[in-house]
Amino acid sequence: MSEKPDNGKPDVEQLSKDLFELAQRSQNMYTELLKSSRGMSATSMDPLNVSKSMTDATQKLWMDPGKLMEANINLWQQHMQLWQKASGQLAGVEADAPVASPEPGDRRFKHPDWEQNPLFDFIKQSYLITARWLVDTMSGIEGIDDQTAHKVEFYTRQFADSFSPSNFIWTNPEVLRETIETNGQNLVKGLQNYQRDLEKGGGALQITMSDAEAFRLGENIATTPGKVVFQNDLIQLIQYQPTTAEAHRLPLLIVPPWINKYYILDLTPEKSFVRWAVDRGYTVFVVSWVNPDERLAEKSFTNYMDEGILAAVTAVEQATGERQMSAIGYCIGGTLLAATLAYMAAHDDDRIQAATFFAAQADFSEAGDLKVFVDEQQLENLDSMMEEKGYLDGQAMFTTFNMLRANDLIWSFYVNNYLLGRDPVPFDLLHWNSDATRMPRKTHMYYLREMYLHNNLAKPGGIELNGTPIDLRKITIPVYLQASKEDHIAPYPSVFKARGLYSGPVRFMLSGSGHIAGVINPPAKRKYQYWMNEEQPTDLDAWMDGAEEHPGSWWPDWDQWLSRYSGPMVPARVPGDGQLPAIEDAPGSFVKAPSD
């Protein structure tokens, strides 16, 4: 990297050369992007079916000129107020409260210059005023259906986030300082990072979120000792080595989502839910889903039940000699577990005696922002996209989930990696988040159509598995429902709706944070909090009104609940000592299969 002259001032000549190199590299990358975009079909130009929704909304907006004029006047008044305050500051008048302030937790404007420098403070507030006006105006349009309104609000917010001044070199004070201090080397390094991520994604930008070389499965993540004791086309089943002399009689089967890899539940040792549960005296089994390729394109949702959960239940029985057990389902793994429990109930199969659901939806009528990606046109486009390979590429789901928190999971890395020219720090959770998995075409389309689009799982007999009508009301075993207050993937009102679908006793608990940190919150960390209403009313507002906040992790509350349904203590079981011999060491080979 070039150094500053001895007088400490920027080397203008070197900076000009670096910016010229930046322009050359940008032109080359743009050419490559144009090449990669050739051959796109008409539907692939708008695969998310955004244009029609925005056109419909805009037409409705123009049909109400009074409301549009009122919105514009309000925008003008706020900008005039901001201009008056800024002018007063230039004249030496001490400013009072700002016209617009970032929302709590908005980290885009954390650099001191955004507040201390009058110019950048003005830019920041002007953006916030305009962005909120845009979102509020487009969100308040009347006369459009709920799905269109939801989509318009979501993509308007995406657009507003994208033009934040923090995302541009000349309006981000931190980037400007870095550019001057390094003679533009931050931009050159950032462009190299951009080129690397573009090549990594095969022409599609695949943002690096964590140091890919910092983590190794079985070495510093997914390290809880255990053995793979069963496998088929869809799963490997891991049984973990006990750490206590005795364990609860009923083993515990964990079903993670197949949208991600299972080791979110076994990250570093201090964050591992698996290790913690083993230490609490549970005989823990975890399903490790295969990372499917074209050979598994026709695997169905029913296959995932038969070869996934039901095969695992039988394997647990063989490995321990214990017929009954408890189970946990996380996210889509919980959705499948709910359907499977109803299937088992219809066949008088009582092998699962208690069930826990982590951030899992069964009623999708209020499924949150993910529903904007599901309508008939989008599903047809998605099906066409999967037709050739027979699966959805892992990067597609990775990008979809990141869009739900674009400022944190897209734009913050855009600024750090490409504008500031920095490498991301090692972060186990983001390493896992980037370790994407594929989805077999048949299963994925069924899940999106039957759950998200038609909400058929919540309807008695709405779906059939192996010819058996699925009715969640047949589930009479004890249930523990976990939801997270800031979950954008499985919003807690949506999770709570399952409270009214099951017929047995249900303990609903609301944790702090989001879809991942709300679940992975070990007691030793003493982070976040959870809410519990011991009366367990069936109305969400009543539940929230009577809920008591508790500091720290909810894991001990769950342990106290599950231990009542897990039988007396018996000698701990060692993997491979039962009817199923050990196949290989945990974490197994399935989880190591990459998506590229």
Task: Please indicate, yes or no, whether residues 140 and 263 belong to a single structural domain of this protein.
Answer: no
On whether residue 375 sits in a domain, the answer given is no
Domain boundary among 150, 166, 181: 181
Residues 177 and 233 in one domain: no
Taking only the tens place, the pLDDT of each residue in 483-511 is: 999 999 999 999 999 999 999 999 999 99
Q: Report the distance separating Cα 200 and Cα 520, nearest Å.
A: 29
| Of 271, 203, 186, residue with least CA distance to 1 | 186
**Identity at 313, one-letter amino acid code:** V
186 domain residue, yes or no: no
d(C-alpha 324, C-alpha 364), whole Å: 30
User: Which range is least confidently modeled, 135-139, 304-308, 527-531?
Assistant: 135-139
Same domain, 163 and 296: no
Instruction: Note whether residue 34 is domain-resident.
Output: no
Average pLDDT of 370-378? 89
Share of the chain above pLDDT 90, in %: 71
- 81 plus 163 within the same structural domain: yes
- Same-domain pairing of 359 and 293: yes
Between 473 and 34, the higher pLDDT residue: 473
Active site residue 325: no
- Report which of 190, 191, 197 is spatially closest to residue 212, judged by C-alpha positions: 197
* Sequence-distant (≥ 6) Cβ neighbours of residue 581 within 8 angstroms: 229
Considering the domain boundaries, does residue 35 fall inside one? no
Q: Tell which phi-psi region holds residue 253, choosing left (phi > 0), alpha (psi between -120 and 50) or beta.
A: beta
Section 11-21 average pLDDT: 58
CA distance 216 to 45: 38
pLDDT for 23 equals 54
Residues 544 and 488 both lie in one domain: yes
The verdict on 175 and 231 lying in the same domain is no
**Side-chain-facing half-sphere of 575: CA atoms under 13 Å:** 24
The predicted model scores a pTM of: 0.90
Decide if pLDDT at 49 tops 80: no
d(CA 438, CA 258): 8
* Model confidence at 329: pLDDT above 50: yes
Closest CA to 368 of 448, 488, 484: 488
Do 164 and 240 lie in a common domain? no
Cα separation, 543 vs 496, whole angstroms: 10
Which residue shows structure tokens 């079916």? 49
Q: Among 63-77, 242-256, 412-426, whose mean pLDDT is lowest? A: 63-77
- The H-or-E segment that residue 127 falls in is helix 118-139
Catalytic residue among 99, 149, 331, 506: 331
Give the CATH number for residue 519: 3.40.50.1820
Range of the domain at 96: 44-181
Measured between alpha carbons, how far is 169 from 421 in angstroms, rounded to an integer? 12
Does residue 251 share a domain with residue 107? no
Residues 571 and 516 in one domain: yes
Domain boundary at 128, 152, 181, which?
A: 181
Same-domain status, 170 and 108: yes
Q: Is residue 338 domain-shared with residue 463, that is, in the same domain?
A: yes
Tokens of 294: 């074209």
Domain termination residue (choose one: 127, 152, 181): 181
Cβ-count burial of 422 within 10 angstroms (0-12 exposed, 13-18 middle, 19+ buried)?
middle
The reply to whether 444 falls in a domain is no
Confidence band, pLDDT 50/70/90 cuts, at residue 162: very high
Which range, of 223-232, 327-336, 408-417, 552-561, averages the lowest pLDDT?
Answer: 408-417
Residue 404 lies in a domain: no
Q: Which residue has the higher pLDDT, 218 or 19?
A: 218
How many Cβ atoms sit within 10 Å of the Cβ of residue 104?
Answer: 5
Residues 6+ away with beta carbon under 8 Å from 551 = 526, 529
Q: 191 in a domain, yes or no? A: no
pLDDT of amino acid 117 = 93
Quick one: pLDDT at residue 24? 56
Q: 216 lies in a domain?
A: no
Q: What's the total number of domains in the chain?
A: 2
